[in-house]
C-alpha cells in the first residue's frame, strides 16, 4: 500500500470505517502475502484470494491483540468477511490494492465467524509458543 496516501481522507470520503480499519486490512494483506510466500511475486503470481486475505487479517489480529482481537476489530467496524471485502474494494477503487479481472466483492461473502477463528488461532499460537 502506498505509504504516502492519506487514508484519513479515504475514511472520511466513504464514511463507513475509521482509518485504522484501512491500515489494518493493508497490513493483513502484507501479512498474508508473506505467510503464503507470495511477497516477492509479481502480477497474478502475487494474487491472494478473498479467503486468504480474511485469514491473513484474522491471523494478524490474533498475533497482535490476542484475546482482545475480536473486540479491536469490532471497534473498527470489522465484524465479518464482508466488512473486510468492503474495505478491500475501497482500497482497490483508490488504486491502492490491485485485483484480478474475476475478483468481486461477493468473494468475501460467507467467510468465517471472526470470534471463533480468532480464538482458535490464539489458542494454536499459545500452544506452539509454550
Q: Please count the structural domains in the chain.
A: 1
104 domain residue, yes or no: yes
Q: How far apart are CA 125 and CA 15, in angstroms?
A: 35
In a domain, 123, yes or no: yes
pLDDT of res. 2: 47
What is the rounded radius of gyration, in angstroms, for the C-alpha atoms of the chain?
14
In a domain, 2, yes or no: no
The reply to whether 55 falls in a domain is yes
- Side-chain-side CA neighbours of 118 within 13 Å: the count stands at 25
Which has more pLDDT, 4 or 129? Answer: 129
Give the predicted TM-score (pTM) of the model: 0.88
Is 77 inside any structural domain? yes
Give the percent of the chain with pLDDT over 90. Answer: 62
Average pLDDT, the chain: 89
Higher pLDDT pick, 120 / 85: 85
Local confidence band at 53 (pLDDT 50, 70, 90 cut-offs): very high
Query: Which residue range forms the structural domain that includes residue 114?
Result: 7-129
Amino acid at each position: 500500500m502506498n505509504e504516502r496516501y492519506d487514508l484519513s481522507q479515504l475514511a472520511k470520503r466513504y464514511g463507513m470505517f475509521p482509518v485504522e480499519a484501512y491500515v489494518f486490512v493493508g497490513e493483513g494483506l502484507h501479512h498474508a502475502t508473506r505467510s503464503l510466500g507470495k511477497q516477492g511475486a509479481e502480477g497474478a503470481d502475487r494474487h491472494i484470494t478473498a479467503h486468504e486475505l480474511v485469514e491473513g487479517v484474522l491471523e494478524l489480529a490474533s498475533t497482535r491483540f490476542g484475546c482482545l482481537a475480536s473486540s479491536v476489530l469490532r471497534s473498527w467496524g470489522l465484524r465479518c468477511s464482508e466488512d473486510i471485502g468492503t474495505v478491500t474494494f475501497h482500497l482497490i477503487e483508490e488504486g491502492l490494492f490491485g485485483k484480478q479481472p474475476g475478483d468481486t466483492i461477493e468473494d468475501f461473502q460467507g467467510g468465517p465467524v471472526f470470534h471463533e477463528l480468532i480464538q482458535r488461532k490464539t489458542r494454536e499460537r499459545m500452544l506452539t509458543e509454550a
